[in-house]
Structure 1
Amino acid sequence: MSPLIERARAFRGFAPRVSFAFAVGCGAVVVLLAILLGEQQAGRAVKRHEQLVGQDLAASVDRILDTVISRRRNELAALAGQPCAQVGRRLAELETKVSYVRVIALVSNGRLYCSSALGPIDRPLAAYLAPSKYRETIGLLRETAYQPGVPVVTLYTPAGSGAGVLYVVEGDYLADAVAHAVRLGAQTAELSMAGMGVLDDQRRFHPLSSQSAVATRVASQVWPFAVLVSSSAGSVSATYWKYRLACGAVGVLCAALIACAYLLAFAPRRLLLSAVRQGLRRGEFHVAYQPIIAVESRSLVGVEALLRWHHPKWGAVSPAVFMADVESSDALAGITEFVLRTSVAEMSRRPPASPLRIAVNVGPQDLERKGFVGEVLAVNRRLPAGACLVLELTERFLLQDNVRTTAVFRELKQEGVKFAIDDFGTQYSNLDAVSRFPFDFVKIDRQFTSQIDTGGAEIIRAMVSVARHFGLEVIAEGVETEAQHQALLEAGVPFAQGYLYQRPVRAGELLRAAPAVGL
């Protein structure tokens, strides 16, 4: 058996369930992906908020430092290097006009020699920061010798010839600016200077090793410091829930759209199968019979039982509309059982041994289900003497050559049931099937019969030859003209059926023999 065809046949039977499972799976995956996307977007939103808060804090600290360094800058620079006795009073006066500072000191040759608060002093500049000769320098200290336990920020501006000005900025001002982040939803906010330490929103100094690894870091574009911001648990939770709900709602909407698409695609099939089941219960189905005649004598030798449906609202429903869906569903069991039971009961009421054969269409799925053999044997035992039951395999996919199928063939044939393979020649797989399974008849498809009197006789003869090689009888379908009948007779086809002999009719309308000419 072709693996591709076997897989296709198996899929057909499970297609509805697979489609349903696929739709449910897709919906669940979409909702899950939406939630995961919400989680991802929430994380980005938290970081984005921290980034904005950090930028705002950095800008605030930049303004404080810029204010300190720009106020009275030239006047203070002019004092640097001059004796403290001469400029001390002026230094103290200028200090009062510079915001945010605790003290301003003059520097000469790397030492503080004059303070706006203490007057003459002698302290190394290196105790406050590592200055540069060419640009402003900033530092962060845990405390100073004059005010222990109070963090400060130091700023140094060079004034030339080894002189400069040192500003000591109250840490409280910067801590207050950083603390503004808490009012914007932050859990913690810190001012960090590389190699020096961290000043938090509680005005506490920490070594650099204590910095939070999860905080968002925003560097100043002006000064060598950074702001570290971490969101509060409440703010993070609210953001995550907002995005979860929003993305979850989108996911549910997409899942609903998938469900709608599934219903639009498969609801007609489900409704149709439901109508079939209800039709069986309400008696809307009946069986029509098409005669099978001996080509040479035109005598009636059998019938093919054909299911017909007359819906009270839709009227006559063609089997082409519903049988394809029925054959791939569990409704097939009820249909097959109905045709078997009805055809045997109606044919049993005819004269003895007429017709000789009753052909009923079944599918490979029937052979695989439990209870099928028992159903067939039950109706087979009710046949009148001289009559036999023929099961026609109408499914165009290959039978699975497994132990169960072989056992079904063997058990039913032991009880006199015969088998026919339908539409012979339309699938390259049919020849393989007749060689592997003990069929009794092959039915030549109507597309070959329609061509027999227009150059297709050789194909029919070849089919007859193949059938005889395997010990099978041949039945030609779709005979509609007398010319086709004569061509079949000449090609050695023993049995035929078609509109030439009689259209499918109720049991009481069957002819005992086919008319000699025409319809």
Structure 2
Amino acid sequence: MSLLLCVVCGAAVMLAAIMFSEHMATVKIADHEQIIGRDVVQSVDRILDSVSSLRRNELAALAGKPCSQVGALLADLETYLRYVRAVALVSGDRLYCSSALGRIDVPLSNYSLSIGRGDSIGLLAQTRYQPGVPVLVVFNRTAPGAGVLSIVEGDYLMNALAHGLRYGAQTVSISVANTGRLDARGTFTPASAPPDAYTTRIESLKWPFEVLVSPSEGFVSGMHWKYRVAGLTLGLLLDALLAAGYLLTFAPRRLLLKAVRQALERNEFHVVYQPIIETSNRSLVGVEALLRWHHPKWGPISPASFMEEVESSDMLGPVTQFVMRTAVAEMAQRLVAIPLRIAVNVASRDLERRDFVAQVQALTARLPAGVTLVLELTERFFLRESGRTAATFNALKAKGVKFAIDDFGTQHSNLELLGRFQFDYVKIDRQFVSQVDRGDAQLIRGIVSVAKHYGLQVIAEGVETESQHLALRAAGVPFAQGYLYQRPVTAEQLAQQHCEVTTS
């Protein structure tokens, strides 16, 4: 059943990844069209702004005056205007003076414009003076009943529109309401013609026109192919993670425990040590022994992936015994010149084992003078407390073994534990240590105060920055461990580093 569920979930994940990739491709295509459209709109806006602003005051002064008086000046001013083919003065609703033709008499309506109340534009397929050449006409109202008409070459518009074709668009057109459309290839379509199907429309915020964009088939297919490949890759990756999760969650528990048993037999386990330092001078006062598994096929395997199962099985005893025996042997062999605490993580079920006290006593008897064994237990383990747990705890305390409550504050923060068991150390979890960087050391000081009340020493875990170290020291934390001081290393590396420090 679990395998069928995993297969169904894997198929659903793959389908969702493909659908998501199609959606993302569509979104990216639309975004690309929006970018093209906005770029073209900005280009046309710059053309219209230039035509309407350059020499506007000087041209406005000519509007309404007789052509015989201002014709020559009008022709001269036109030469200073960019993009403009000709300029005409308007009075009433008629063009009466042109920079190119001199005196004329043409209705303004011939240009699909009216005198109106402000500036306006129109798009024409041609003019009577230059057939077959599209133009954009711009009317600037300068006074009631008077204004200036500028004729902009369509080539300038087509150059702006062609920018979109170079970046993956199939068609790019400019549309002016009630006049027509002009595309990048110079094709003019009157407003009365049926509208073409465009994917994206971008309106100008300054002028009454919009740019219409449709993507090329090559660009669309390329984007869909790209995101399909990405979606397929993502789906395969998620399915691989799902399969791994299935193996870890639903695979028979005995296979994992069998692998742990074989790892012990094949010497795949080893122990590394993270130093515990005194915060006042950073001198080495102890080490925490940490179990590591290097599988010959899968490489390093995190203890988080197997220790929970080990803790609830018969393999807990052999694994705990391996860590304690290895730590005591390696530390006794290499670091015998200084007083030292060797901390080992144990579970409450370890304290319930009948042979646990004898095993620990045999190991402590091999420790050099000044070296102490510390057993670390987390709060959650004491939820399964029994009479044997308390008896074992007290028996080992009587033999000089120290105890630390690990990850204090992360589970139930039961102060009754501190009163019921005679701990020696309280270890502050890294999640609280990280807060002191932000000036939040009040909780740390509270834990230190509680520890002093019960006669306990405080050890901070997970110290990674100098500011955390200083804040912890200021809060009265005497001991600490973390990457700031040393990452976990082998006993040989630790001994070598200690030797270098002492000789220097």
Higher relative contact order (CA 8 A, sep 6+): 1
TM-score (structure 1 length as normaliser): 0.48
Whichever of the two has the greater Rg, that structure is 1
